Amino acid sequence: METFEELYAPLLKDVFKIQAQQQLEQGADGLASSRAYAERGKPEFTLAFLLLIKLPDEEKRELLAYAYERHATLSEEKAEQLKQQFHRPFPLIFSEAQKDRIAARSIRQGKRVRSGTP
């Protein structure tokens, strides 16, 4: 089985990793930061911190999967708000949320996700 880094590091844009490195250099707790970003539905920042800290791969996968699930949930909530506000559906948001849920399942299974996902 490929490592967490082998599977998911190629998905990350440098800007997120640089930002995470700067935060760690300023004294941020990497695990706490990755959890906070996951809760806010930010898989890019979650991944950036997870790539920079020591943690078992299984725990990293679970946190990253959770970030994708939170992103999906928050996106769906936003789509519902927009639907109420503008009286029309926003199917693309729901479609992207479904892709996030698929990515979360793949991550939990230790599989690659499509490169445009985070």
Cβ atoms of 82 and 64 closer than 8 Å: no
Q: How many CB atoms lie within 10 A of CB 109?
A: 9
Q: Where are the domains of the chain?
A: 4-108
What are the pLDDT tens digits along the chain (118 aa)? Answer: 799 999 999 999 999 999 999 999 999 999 999 999 999 999 999 999 999 999 999 999 999 999 999 999 999 999 999 999 999 999 999 999 999 999 999 999 999 997 654 4
The pLDDT of residue 116: 55
Rounded Cα gap, residues 60 and 5, in angstroms: 10
Which residues are CB-neighbours of 34 under 8 A, at least 6 positions away?
45, 46, 49, 50, 53, 63
The pLDDT of residue 102: 97
